[in-house]
């Protein structure tokens, strides 16, 4: 369980359950990551066909945002959301596109209309949220019926969530696991909203 946050401890840090700090954003953009977790492979697993509205929750410095913008095409939209303004600044500097809208917000209270999202993408973020069930409930609210919530987890991340634990958390909110791609230690899990 991630630690609760307070005014005196907003919860930033690299340890389990802490919010990844913007000061360390460079490590998320490390060139080595392009080898072990290329954005094109991760986004390729989402099966985007163009025209979708994609919500990227916890976009950080935008490692995946450009590839998502390419995936949704000219008729689509990526809403790239993060808690930290500094992360959004970095992401915006990397990908300036009319296909991307940057939004500062909290995954446990998404500033997004109900049923307005085709695909929600959550990469290495859920483990940083103390109220994970509330985050999943928000996903269930904003993803349209027939849409998908897609989670990418890696054991290289201190907040790694095993697939079994993720399924137990997500399915009670009206999603059903439809596929898992990749290895048990670095997977992409796609859930269909019923």
Ligand X SMILES: C[S@@+](CC[C@H](N)C(=O)[O-])C[C@H]1O[C@@H](n2cnc3c(N)ncnc32)[C@H](O)[C@@H]1O
Interface residues with ligand X (CB under 6 A) are: 19-20, 28, 57-60, 63, 82-84, 87, 106-108, 123-125, 128-129
Collapsing DSSP states into helix, strand and coil, what is residue 175?
strand
Q: How far is the CB of 138 from ligand X (least distance, A)?
A: 10
- Tell me the two tokens of residue 47: 């099966």
Contact 151, 177 (CB under 8 A): no
**Other Cβ atoms within 10 Å of 35 Cβ, number:** 8
Provide the sign of the torsion angle of the four alpha carbons 54, 57, 62, 63, taken in this order: negative
For ligand X, the closer CB: 96 or 176: 96
For ligand X, the closer CB: 85 or 145: 85
Q: How far is the CB of 158 from ligand X (least distance, A)?
A: 9
Q: How far is the CB of 22 from ligand X (least distance, A)?
A: 7
In angstroms, the Cα distances linking 193 to 21, 51, 89 are 31, 19, 32
For ligand X, the closer CB: 44 or 75: 44
Q: How far is the CB of 127 from ligand X (least distance, A)?
A: 9
For ligand X, the closer CB: 28 or 177: 28
């Amino acid at each position: 369980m991630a630690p609760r946050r307070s005014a005196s401890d907003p919860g930033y840090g690299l340890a389990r359950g802490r919010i990844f700090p913007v000061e360390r954003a460079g490590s998320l953009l490390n060139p080595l990551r392009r080898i072990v977790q290329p954005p094109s492979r991760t986004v390729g697993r989402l099966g985007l066909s163009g025209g979708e509205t994609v919500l990227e929750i916890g976009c950080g410095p935008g490692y995946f945002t450009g590839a998502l913008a390419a995936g949704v095409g000219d008729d689509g939209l990526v809403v790239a959301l993060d808690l930290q303004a500094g992360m959004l600044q970095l992401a915006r500097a990397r990908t300036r596109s009319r296909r991307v809208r940057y939004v500062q917000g909290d995954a446990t209270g998404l500033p997004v209309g109900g049923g307005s999202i085709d695909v929600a993408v959550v990469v290495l973020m859920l483990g940083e949220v103390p109220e994970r069930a509330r985050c999943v409930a928000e996903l269930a609210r904003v993803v349209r019926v027939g849409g998908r919530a897609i989670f990418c987890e890696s054991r290289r991340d201190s907040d790694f969530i095993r697939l079994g634990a993720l399924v137990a958390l997500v399915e009670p909110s009206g999603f059903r696991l439809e596929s898992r791609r990749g290895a048990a230690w670095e997977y992409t899990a796609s859930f269909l909203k019923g």
